[in-house]
Amino acid sequence: MVMGQGPVEKDGLDPFLKIAGLTREDVSYSRAIRCLWKGGHDLPPITQTVTREALAHCTRAHLRVPSGVRLWVALGDYGAQVLTGDSIGDWRGYLRPASGRALPGTIRLDGVEEPWVPHAQDHKVLVSVWPPDLHKQPSLTMAARADWSKVARIMAGRWPRQPPRFLSDPPRQWPETFAFDTEYYYTDGSPLTTLIRYSLAWGTEDDQCTVVERGDHRLPVFVGTPRVVSQYAPADMRHLDRLSGGRGDGLSTSFWNSFLIEDAVWKHAVLWSDQDHDLNYLGSIYSSFNRWKHLGNESPKLYSALDAIGLLEIDQALQRELEADLQSRKIWEFIDRPALGEFVRAQYRGLQCDPARIEHVIGQLESVATKAARRAVASVGWPINVGSDKQTAHQLYTVEGLKVPR
C-alpha cells in the first residue's frame, strides 16, 4: 500500500512501480490528507500542529486497510508522519514499523529491537521520496529508485538481514583488505581525538568483524600492503597509524606507503558527484542492513560493528560500479586516490597556497558566472536564477515543454 500526501500523476508513480515489478493494479494508494487544503493541494508545513491534527483526523476517519497488506511505502513527510509518527528525517530508504498514533491498534507495532528486521506478518513501512519533489531535488532520483528496488526483496524476506555476529579480540594479523572505523572523543578544545574503540571488518558474515576497545588492542602483524577502506580518512588515519605501530599522526610518508588507503566518501564522489556521501546515505543505497546510524548510544558496539561491515559492503558495491565505468575508475585510481594522503595532511597542517593567485582565479570564475547568468536571462526573457532548481525546472519543463527525465 502506498501512502502519499496528495494526488500523483500516472507518469510520476508508474516508473517506480515498474522498478519494483508492480503495476497500479498491484497496489492500493491512499492520501495522507483526503480533502483539499483551502481549495488546493499545497499543504502547510509538517511541523505545524494543525497539520498533524489534520493528518490524524483523516487517518482515523478515512483510512481503510485492505486485508493482506503488510508493506507500506510512505512517500514524503506527510505519508511518513501518518505511518511512522515522524517525518522522513534520516530514514529515507529504510524500514520502520507502522507506529503512527492514529493507526488502528491491529496495525501498530511499537518497541521493536534495532536495527529492525521485521517478521513476515509485521506491518512494515518503507520510507521514500514524494515523486513530485524530484522536480525540485532531481539529485534524489537515484535514491528513490534504490528505495523502490527493495520492495521485492522486502516482500520476499530478503532485505534487511540480521546483523552478523562479531568478535571482540584484536586480530593477530590484519587481513589483505579490511574496512576500518573508529569511535573517539575530543578533549580540551583540541582538534585531535582520543580513541574509544575501533572496528575492523574483512567480510560481511559471522565472525568476520571485530570491535576492539582501546585498552584491548595488541600490535598486529600484516603482510604486504593491506588495502584499508575508510569513511572520511582524516578522522581515522591517525588512529590507524598508532594502532599499526607508527608515530600516530597519520601524516608520514612511511605510514601511507604501508597501506593502500581508500576513502568511500571520495570513491562515491567520483561516481556520483551530486549525491550525499555520508554513511547513512550510502547504507540506504548499498547495504543489506536496516538503518543503524541512530544506535551509537543505545548499542555502541553493534553500532561500531555495522559501521565497518556496512562500509565494506558499500566499498564492494562501489568497486563493481567502478569496474563498469572505466572513465570514473581512471579518475579514482590516477587522480583522487593518489591525492588522498595530501588531503589528510592538509586537514592538520594546512595547505600552502598563493592568495593573490587564488583571488585572481576567483575573479575570473565570478566573471564567467555573471556572463552566463546574463545570457540565460536574455535567452528566456525573464530574470531567471539559474542557480535555482525550481526556476530552471519551470523553464525547461513548463515553458519549453521538455519531457521530465525518469
Report which of 51, 115, 41, 119 is spatially closest to residue 81, judged by C-alpha positions. 51
Contacts of 174 (CB under 8 A, 6+ apart): 200, 220, 221, 222, 226, 244
Other CB atoms closer than 10 Å to residue 62's CB: what's the count? Answer: 12
Q: Average pLDDT for residues 165-191, to the nearest whole number?
A: 92
**For residues 233 and 261, is the Cβ–Cβ distance under 8 A?**
yes
pLDDT bracket for residue 9 (50, 70, 90): low
Residue 105 is which amino acid? G
Q: What is the pTM of this model?
A: 0.86
Taking residues 300-317, what's their average pLDDT?
98
What is the pLDDT at residue 322?
98
Pick from 35-44, 102-111, 139-148: least confident = 35-44
State the Cα–Cα distance between residues 117 and 15, nearest whole angstrom. Answer: 27
| 204-222 as b/e: b if 16+ CB within 10 A | beeebbbbbeeeebeebeb
Judged by DSSP in three states, 66 sits in: coil
| pLDDT value at residue 252 | 93
Q: Which pLDDT value is given to residue 188?
A: 77
Please provide the CATH number assigned to the domain covering 177-349.
3.30.420.10
Burial of 361 (0-12, 13-18, 19+ CB in 10 A): exposed
Q: What is the pLDDT of residues 316-369, one digit of tens each?
A: 999 999 999 999 999 999 999 999 999 999 988 888 889 999 999 999 999 999
**Which CATH number is 2-155 given?**
3.40.470.10
More confidently predicted of 243 and 54: 243
The answer to whether residue 10 scores a pLDDT higher than 70 is: no
pLDDT at 144: 96
Q: What is the pLDDT of residue 42?
A: 78
Give mean pLDDT, residues 88-99: 94
pLDDT at residue 6 greater than cutoff 80: no
Spans of all domains in the chain: 2-155, 177-349, 359-399
Would the pLDDT of 220 be above 70?
yes
pLDDT for residue 11: 60
- Domains 2-155 and 177-349 are alike in CATH topology: no
Tens digit of each residue's pLDDT (9 = 90 or more) over 28-81? 888 888 787 877 777 888 888 888 888 888 888 888 888 888 899 999 999 999
- C-beta separation of 286 from 314 below 8 A: yes
Query: Average per-residue pLDDT in the chain?
Result: 92
Position 191 pLDDT exceeds 80: no
DSSP E strands, 129-250: 177-186, 193-201, 209-213, 227-230
pLDDT band at 405 (very low <50, low <70, confident <90, very high): low
User: Which pLDDT band holds residue 106 (cuts at 50, 70, 90)?
Assistant: confident
- Cα–Cα distance list, 253 to 36, 124, 132, 240 (Å): 65, 50, 50, 14
Q: Is it the case that residue 112 has pLDDT exceeding 60?
A: yes
Query: Is 220 within 8 Å of 226 (Cβ atoms)?
Result: no
CA distance readout (Å), 195 to 164, 235, 240, 309, 311: 24, 11, 10, 19, 19
**Given a cut of 90, is residue 224 above it in pLDDT?**
yes
| Three-state DSSP class for residue 260 | strand
* Per-residue pLDDT, 230: 98
Task: Write down the pLDDT at residue 116.
Answer: 95
**pLDDT at position 161 over 60:** yes
